[in-house]
Amino acid sequence: METEKRHTSLQYERELQEIKDNLIYMGVLTEKAIAKGIKALLLRDSDLARTVIAEDDEIDRLDVDIEDKCIRLLALRQPAARDLRFITTAIKINGHLERIGDMAANISEKVIILSEEPQLKPYVDIPRMADIACGMIRQSLDALVNENVALANKVRSSDELVDNLNEQIFRELLTFMMEDVRNIHRATIIMQISKNLERISDHAKGIADMVVYLVTGKSVRHEEPPES
Amino acid sequence: MTETSKAETKNLSFFYGNFQALKNINLSILEKKVTALIGPSGCGKTTFLRCFNRMHDLYPHNRYEGEIILLPENTNIISPDIDPIEVRMHISMVFQKPNPFPKSIYENVAYGLRVRGINKKSALDEKVEKSLREAALWDEVRNRLYGQAFDLSGGQQQRLCIARALATDPEMILFDEPTSALDPIATSKIEELIIELKSKVTILIVTHNMQQAARISDKTGFFYLGELIEYSTTDKLFTAPAVKQTEEYITGRFG
What is the average pLDDT across B63-77? Answer: 93
**Residues from chain B contacting residue A2 (CB–CB below 8 Å):** 244
Give the percent of chain B with pLDDT over 70: 99
Band (B45; pLDDT cuts 50, 70, 90): very high
Closest residue by Cα to residue B33 from B193, B170, B194: B194
How does DSSP classify residue A2?
Answer: P
Q: What is the pLDDT of residue A175?
A: 95
Q: Is the pLDDT of residue B1 over 60?
A: no
Q: Where are the domains of chain A?
A: 10-216
Q: What is the pLDDT of residue A66?
A: 97
CATH architecture of A10-216: Up-down Bundle (1.20)
B255 domain-assigned: no
- As for how many domains chain B has, the answer is 1
Neighbours of A174 (CB within 10 A): 12
Lowest mean pLDDT among A108-122, A131-145, B47-61, B225-239: B47-61
Strand, helix or coil at B8? Answer: strand
Does B247 contact A81 at a Cβ distance shorter than 8 Å? yes
pLDDT tens per residue, range A114-143:
999 999 999 999 999 999 999 999 999 999
Rg (CA), chain B: 18
Q: Is B252 on the interface with A (CB under 8 A)?
A: yes
- d(Cα A127, Cα A174) in Å, to the nearest integer? 19
Average of per-residue pLDDT values in chain B: 92
Lowest mean pLDDT among A101-105, B83-87, B171-175, B219-223: B83-87
B91 domain-assigned: yes
Q: What is the pLDDT of residue B3?
A: 85
Q: What is the CATH number of the domain that holds B131?
A: 3.40.50.300
Name the residue range of residue B148's domain.
5-250
B208 domain-assigned: yes
- d(Cα A211, Cα A149) in Å, to the nearest integer? 7
Residues of chain A with pLDDT under 50: 1-2
- Which residue of A1, A16, A82, A147 is the best one to mutate when testing the B interface, meaning the one whose CB has the most B CBs within 10 A? A82
Q: Is B213 on the interface with A (CB under 8 A)?
A: no
- d(Cα B68, Cα B64) in Å, to the nearest integer? 10
Q: Give the amino acid at B157.
A: Q
